[in-house]
Amino acid sequence: MVRAVADRLGLPAVELDALRHGPNWTPRLSFVDYVREFNHVFRWIWRTLPQTAQRMRKVLSGPDGARLTIVRLWGHHQVDRWLESTLRTVAERAET
């Protein structure tokens, strides 16, 4: 899904897991700095674990949180619909 959005908008795809975890799934202390560095990239937040939600709330309440766009999609059907409609509109606006 991330790759499809990035390809459609001509943006790089960044996986938060790759930024969050180092070798052997060791948490990186620089995670928040990485997120701020990539503040122009779509971020996907899944509320799968309370710890994840808590970390994301901390990032979103920081100085860069107001500039982030959050899109919550429940299942592949909603993802497909969003890619075909809303994302197309965003891409068309970006081209003008």
Tell me if 52 sits within 8 A of 43, measured CB to CB: no
- pLDDT (0 to 100) of residue 50: 60
- pLDDT (0 to 100) of residue 44: 47
Q: What is the mean pLDDT of residues 2-25?
A: 77
Q: Encoding tokens for residue 67?
A: 């500039």
* 37-78 per-position pLDDT tens digit: 765 444 444 444 566 667 767 777 777 777 766 677 777 788
Specify the higher pLDDT residue, 51 or 28.
28
**Terminal-residue alpha carbon distance, the chain:** 25
Residue with tokens 């994840």: 52
- pLDDT (0 to 100) of residue 45: 47
Could you tell me the CA-to-CA distances from 7 to 36, 56, 88 in Å, in that order?
22, 25, 12
- Cα 3 to Cα 83: distance, rounded to the nearest angstrom: 11
Mean pLDDT across the chain = 72
Q: Sign of torsion, CA 77 79 83 87?
A: positive
- Cα 86 to Cα 57: distance, rounded to the nearest angstrom: 25
- pLDDT (0 to 100) of residue 49: 53
Q: Which pTM does this prediction carry?
A: 0.35
- pLDDT (0 to 100) of residue 35: 72
